[in-house]
Amino acid sequence: MSGLPANSDSDPEPRPGDFAVVRMGGRGGRLIRIGQWLNGDGFADWEHAFVHVGNGELVEAQPGGAELRPLSVYDGRPIRWSSGRIPLTDDQRRAVVAAARRYIGTPYSAADYFALAAHRFHLPVGLLIGKYVADSGHMICSQLVDQCYWDAGVHLFADGRWPGYVTPADLAGLLDP
């Protein structure tokens, strides 16, 4: 499969502009699972997301900020790709990749998980939280994916949610057969 991490199922080979969700282990993965549970996603099996930018590379949000990394960092992990499930034109693919590259260095914000949970529980901080989460000056991994697609004119969610109100489990839900 030309050096790309293996799919968990028989998806077409990923192309630049596709995103993936991946299972994470360790303490970080457990914390993300708890964050997703607080957000109403249950204990979802997919804790991380990234954008494939071509040439064996990905862009992903990390605690030190969004990074360009080799796809090989996820070799051997369960992974699901958007290829074959989220149709993109060649122009949209280029726009997603360009957006992902622009976000390299964007700070990570674990606080976004708490903002997402506050929104889910209808805490009376609505507009403040909405502005905080929608501010692309900081993002968790799934927000980065959603924002890259949004910047390319592709709206992954048609449920009226605010931009950025997305978890890895939400992205995985788009990939269910």
Task: Please state the domain extents for the chain.
Answer: 19-174
Per-residue model confidence (pLDDT) at position 71: 95
Tens digits of residue pLDDT in 55-69: 999 999 988 899 999
**Sequence-distant (≥ 6) Cβ neighbours of residue 32 within 8 angstroms:** 24, 47, 48, 113, 168
Tokens 């077409």 belong to residue: 12
Instruction: Assign a CATH topology to domain 19-174.
Output: endopeptidase fold (from Nostoc punctiforme) (3.90.1720)
What H or E segment, with its residue span, contains residue 107? none
pTM of the model: 0.79
Q: How far apart are CA 21 and CA 82, in angstroms?
A: 8
Residue 47: CB atoms within 10 Å: 26
